[in-house]
Amino acid sequence: MACTLTLANSRKLPCIKSRVGIRAIYVFPFDATDKVVTTVAGVVALPTYIATTDGARYDIKSTTANYTDTLTQNLDNRSGGRKGELPVIIVPNSGVDNVKLAEEIDQISKTESLIFLEMKNGDTFAIGSQFGCNISTAVDTTGGQSGDLDGVTLTIQTDESDSFRKYWLSSTAVTALQAAVLPYDV
């Protein structure tokens, strides 16, 4: 029996995107009992626990942050999955902020997270929405001279069944996300 392929339309090449890259990530704990749900209109509501959980926004150095979402299929047993990877650099301020950053990295590294990507073009996506995100490495670098990196490079990994693009947040969901984030520590 042949598999059915139903396509909605053809696709033109879109206009050139002038704003690509990730501006910030939002980190929340992952709750397997209250997951992000997507619809044909994207994510229109966040999981209920997000409203009562303090999440954090991290502005990141976007020149090195690139989320890759790779579909791999096993042709023998007709199964597949998506592996995602996102390296991000978090830069500390001086003084006691170094201690705070180290504590935050320890907490994030020891648990599964739900992470939202805020793109430079205004789109926001959920990653780890189905099975959570894990930190595979955290590399802390001091730099040796002016212009060198001084910060922590986290490698965030996901193992999902669907593309992250299905988890695009509507404006209502983005508003709820921004309301659930802790203020900046100035």
Cα atoms in the 13 Å half-sphere on the side-chain side of 10: 2
Q: What one-letter code names the amino acid at 162? A: D
Q: What is the pLDDT of residue 179?
A: 93
- Long-range contacts made by residues 96-104, C-beta under 8 angstroms, separation at least 24? 97/185, 100/185, 101/152, 104/56
d(CA 5, CA 2): 9
| Among the ranges given (6-10, 125-129, 154-158), the one the predictor scored with the smallest mean pLDDT | 6-10
Give the pLDDT confidence of 21-79 residue by residue, as tens digits.
899 999 999 999 999 999 999 999 999 999 888 899 999 876 778 999 999 988 888 78
Q: In this model, does residue 1 exceed pLDDT 70?
A: no
Q: What is the pLDDT of residue 2?
A: 60
d(CA 101, CA 142): 14
Q: What is the pLDDT of residue 17?
A: 61
Backbone angles phi, psi at 178, to 5 degrees: -65, -30
Q: In this model, does residue 86 exceed pLDDT 90?
A: yes
User: pLDDT-based confidence at 110, cuts 50/70/90?
Assistant: very high
pTM metric for this prediction: 0.87
Report whether 80 contacts 100 (CB < 8 A): no
Q: Which helix (H) or strand (E) holds 172?
A: helix 171-179
What is the share, in percent, of the chain residues with pLDDT greater than 70?
A: 94
Report whether 139 contacts 151 (CB < 8 A): no
Give the pLDDT confidence of 118-152 residue by residue, as tens digits.
999 999 999 999 999 999 999 988 877 777 777 88
Q: What is the pLDDT of residue 105?
A: 93
Report whether 93 contacts 102 (CB < 8 A): no
